[in-house]
Structure 1
């Protein structure tokens, strides 16, 4: 039984009761609702095509109409009295305009075939989108740039239209369509192209829920159009959540210019001065310039600065992004957690990997003015990168070029992390395990110097399978309680200053700690346990050997060295080696200002301390040295210095 009833809500209560009783239950159950998994029906719920047998032009105020039929307005504009409400029961309203006065309408009655004006709101804040009701064209074979551009216009229009009517949640299930985002749509003369403006913008105070059946694709760029773009954008908006769905870039369909310098292409998601933004559980693939770009309007030192803040990207899969997966150049209070990054910056079928090649790139812009004052055009601070999994990135997982107070914790990393001109960075509790070509590189590189580099920490990480575990070349790095295993070298020092290297466990094939052809100053290496299978426990060569570095110092204190080969200091300057336990002995030659004192040395098949070539101000004092096991050719101290007057030996014991 089809019921078409008009109810006067204030004074026809009894009629309303009769209406409920007289209509069969099946007429209400004819609508399709979410199933237990929350998946929306593939087809619209407007299944009834029987024409309505009533006229709405003579409605009175305070009327509720149940639409269980096809209401064809035949091109008419109907101005409704106050408080008219339209309920949904499987029907539809088409071919006309309704002008409301404080009324409501069920979102399932909205479509491109019905215009709505006036004071009206949705009966429910949850709106379900069906492409066929809004003239979205799906599929590649039917799509041109013009069609894809119309798709972009339609989807954004429906976002804002339903938001204006009171929708707070916008649900999309089955949708597979292309969106053109590289063309300027402004009709103004000489209009500029703004990438975030040309994307599908999401309004404030809005949740976009997509499913595994939702596929949004960038229409491929061509040789006539080098603009980038993104499918979705947050542009000066706030309180937005996006969940689920699949977004695809055009990196293997796009036609790049012959002189592309690695910068061309599109992103998939822009956050441009967004506030309180969550992107949760979205799958991203094949961004031709990257996946996320996060930035802000204005410069940080100007009054019109409008920073991005409080952004969370979580539970997403980001695969095969050219250049990088996330480019963060301006923002604060950013969380990137529990995502999976796969093959960022790798070459693919139709493209090279572009520049950068890191999964996450944090790189705000700054400069010094004519007075040498540091000016920050962009700022990034208070960032948490945690619980992510990464593999296959060409450059690495993360590069922190500039920024403050960034924590990188509990990630599973298959490539590398590097930081440069940063402060307050904590790289803690991560699991580094080199995969593929990452075995030929380092796990962590602490780089950068200057007054903006300080208070950075690398701690409690496990690092396995790299050619070098950690390279330290920065100022004020605190590196402690890391476990470095199965690496070619453990820790390498290269132009480091004020580094504290404490309580690490290093078990490697070659050199435990090394510094060659470099200088280092104010370095404290303390309470570490270093084991080498076949290499040097410590290997310093051509370190601090220039006149400019003659006052620089490196201190080894209370470490334990386990291995058959020697600790070697060659052509080096400014080393204090005290209170350590050594298996394998020491070799010291062509050195200046060396102090070896109060150590316990068990040399095995070599001399305990062997001095060779020249020395200047070298002290060998109060060491306990065990007799070598290699026979009479070795001794506790084998002094072959060519400058014996520069070597002081006293208080040593030979057991």
Structure 2
């Protein structure tokens, strides 16, 4: 294989007719008729840049400097600027042979040429550049350092190294606050670079030392790839610690800064993605709650690792599927769910609606992240602004369902399943830390919460091995809150939850639970004003939960004074040591049958039953029992007074 270098020579201005020719050494003769060279050998002879232009272009070539192309989409984009510390190459191009390697160590201006290279040519970076033209390869490789916004690459060619490093200067990225047009050019430049690296078989796109705005608002349909920084399949978008990509302030109701649709085997790591929450124009009306920093749409096998996502006008991250499902939950033709999604080691902060929204997908893992300040601001004001907008959750798992006309069953327009939320730290989220809405088979474990897990219309989920610590004011705080929801026939829809091995401390309400067939066991509740609160429910079980509190007026097991329907409820094998009432049941099962069994509880205080019916207490101990307007069954208990 032959090796060549561009020659840094004196800057002689050459002017020849613009021709379209093939590379052959016999053209040395043609150029020798115009210029005098010392030799026509393979090492020393240069060919002028070969241009592929129409005759009309040739006629206008003399006026290029004065004409303005008012129809160009890139009219605001600057040309590539080579490194001024590197000398210019001679104004001609080597007549290199097939199967050769060219080491580029000077700046080569193709002067608009479209050069067709011989077979299997390698262009390798050695400090120089090639720009202002096009190269067509017939096999071979090119160094990623030679790619730039002013060099077109055609034909069959691959990158010398599959890992490409993005140079903002070579792609004319303008940093800082810029006009919309400049931000749009920034978007096009980075999109062009990603597309080119993908086409040249690159698999890693490294980007760092950049802080720039990108206009992702110019779209016919929200979130489409053409309007966002789109990431391809089999690709690692690798952002460094000094990489910040920002949304150009806009007035669109929806956008996505990074968008991955119907791809596979993707990694996105590092860097910061920043939305326009506090600079967005909300004046056009509507909720403006579809502006996201990242959207994962029907992607298989994707990992997001160590990325900061903040200040989205809506969510930091959305995980969804392509197209609505059939009502039986199966995928429609052309539809695709997100599958095997891993989100880890990342920071989600101060997004206007939710930090993370999960609406469709299977095998989703949210782990070892910091998730805070979702929906921050004052309560809803009734008009769109930078203030948070509902549901304002750290993680909102919310799949749309179709309720059948009978009101007793539903179809799965969207579906989530096998979602794991583990080892995360939640704090200062305005609504819930985790909101479970219309989902199933979600597992929340080994997290640290400073707020609430709430649920409605969900089923078959587990909450376990978590730590809940409230360090805010007590008023209105809840650690776990699952309120009952019903079908039209009155049957429960919040069902089959298992809540166990959690530590809950410092809340006004520790666990608030309704629904059916839920199992709460082996939890430790400390210094909560109300430990466990029972709402309307059927066949719920509570076992081995230790409840203690030194707070004034604190309760263990509690029901509110509204009429509660409690059927087939079991409370067993627990210790309760609080300052006021260990058990306080009021207005339960009034006018209807119900059964509440309290078995083997040790109350280090008093218990009170007020208009609470269908209650059996056995094998338990307490200081004193107060009974009003009801007749509980008391079996084998010990009263200390």
TM-score (ref. length: structure 1): 0.80
Aligned equivalents of 1:162 and 1:4: distance in 2? Answer: 25
Indicate the residue corresponding to 2:237 in structure 1.
208
Unaligned runs of 5+ residues in structure 1 are: 7-18, 20-43, 185-190, 604-655
Equivalent residues of 2:433, 2:449 under 8 A apart: yes
Equivalent residues of 2:91, 2:109 under 8 A apart: no
Equivalent residues of 1:342, 1:391 under 8 A apart: yes
For residue 558 of structure 1, give the secondary structure of its aligned residue in structure 2: strand
Match of 1:536 among 574, 581, 584: 581
Match of 2:121 among 55, 62, 84: 84
Indicate the residue corresponding to 2:572 in structure 1.
526
Aligned equivalents of 1:51 and 1:4: distance in 2? Answer: 16
Q: How does 1:585-600 map to 2 (within 5 A)?
A: 585-592=624-631, 594-600=632-638
Equivalent residues of 2:438, 2:457 under 8 A apart: yes
Aligned equivalents of 1:77 and 1:197: distance in 2? Answer: 27
Equivalent residues of 1:251, 1:265 under 8 A apart: no
Cα deviation, 1:605-637, whole Å, max 9, x if unaligned, reads: xxxxxxxxxxxxxxxxxxxxxxxxxxxxxxxxx
Q: Once structures 1 and 2 are overlaid, which stretch shifts more, 520-529 or 368-377?
A: 368-377
For residue 182 of structure 2, give the secondary structure of its aligned residue in structure 1: helix
Equivalent residues of 1:557, 1:578 under 8 A apart: yes
Equivalent residues of 1:275, 1:308 under 8 A apart: yes
For residue 479 of structure 1, give the secondary structure of its aligned residue in structure 2: strand
Aligned equivalents of 2:444 and 2:221: distance in 1? Answer: 38
Q: How does 1:406-421 map to 2 (within 5 A)?
A: 406-421=442-457
Equivalent residues of 1:196, 1:229 under 8 A apart: no
Indicate the residue corresponding to 2:213 in structure 1.
178
Aligned equivalents of 1:474 and 1:254: distance in 2? Answer: 41
Aligned equivalents of 2:432 and 2:321: distance in 1? Answer: 25
Match of 2:619 among 559, 579, 589: 579
Aligned equivalents of 1:333 and 1:531: distance in 2? Answer: 41
Indicate the residue corresponding to 2:393 in structure 1.
358
Aligned equivalents of 1:407 and 1:178: distance in 2? Answer: 37
Indicate the residue corresponding to 1:653 in structure 2.
none
Equivalent residues of 2:222, 2:255 under 8 A apart: no
C-alpha spacing 1:195/1:366, structure 2 compared with 1 (3 Å): same
1:215 Cα deviation after fit: 0.9
Match of 2:110 among 73, 83, 87: 73
Cα deviation, 1:31-70, whole Å, max 9, x if unaligned, reads: xxxxxxxxxxxxx996752233595452211101111112
Aligned equivalents of 2:100 and 2:598: distance in 1? Answer: 87
Aligned equivalents of 2:228 and 2:149: distance in 1? Answer: 21
Indicate the residue corresponding to 1:331 in structure 2.
361
1:152 Cα deviation after fit: 1.4
Q: How does 1:394-433 map to 2 (within 5 A)?
A: 394-433=430-469
1:114 Cα deviation after fit: 1.1
Could you say which structure has the greater relative contact order, defined with CA pairs below 8 angstroms and 6 or more residues apart?
A: 2
Instruction: Give aligned pairs, total.
Output: 546
Aligned equivalents of 2:138 and 2:4: distance in 1? Answer: 22
Unaligned runs of 5+ residues in structure 2 are: 7-42, 44-80, 327-331, 380-384, 486-490
C-alpha spacing 1:577/1:197, structure 2 compared with 1 (3 Å): farther
Indicate the residue corresponding to 1:436 in structure 2.
472
Equivalent residues of 2:478, 2:508 under 8 A apart: yes
Aligned equivalents of 1:348 and 1:146: distance in 2? Answer: 34
Indicate the residue corresponding to 2:335 in structure 1.
305
TM-score (ref. length: structure 2): 0.82
Aligned equivalents of 1:558 and 1:195: distance in 2? Answer: 60
Aligned equivalents of 1:526 and 1:473: distance in 2? Answer: 18
Cα deviation, 1:179-208, whole Å, max 9, x if unaligned, reads: 111222xxxxxx545555421110111001
For residue 455 of structure 1, give the secondary structure of its aligned residue in structure 2: strand
Equivalent residues of 2:497, 2:517 under 8 A apart: yes
1:383 Cα deviation after fit: 0.5
Equivalent residues of 2:308, 2:348 under 8 A apart: yes
Indicate the residue corresponding to 2:371 in structure 1.
341
Aligned equivalents of 1:153 and 1:436: distance in 2? Answer: 46
Q: How does 1:29-48 map to 2 (within 5 A)?
A: none
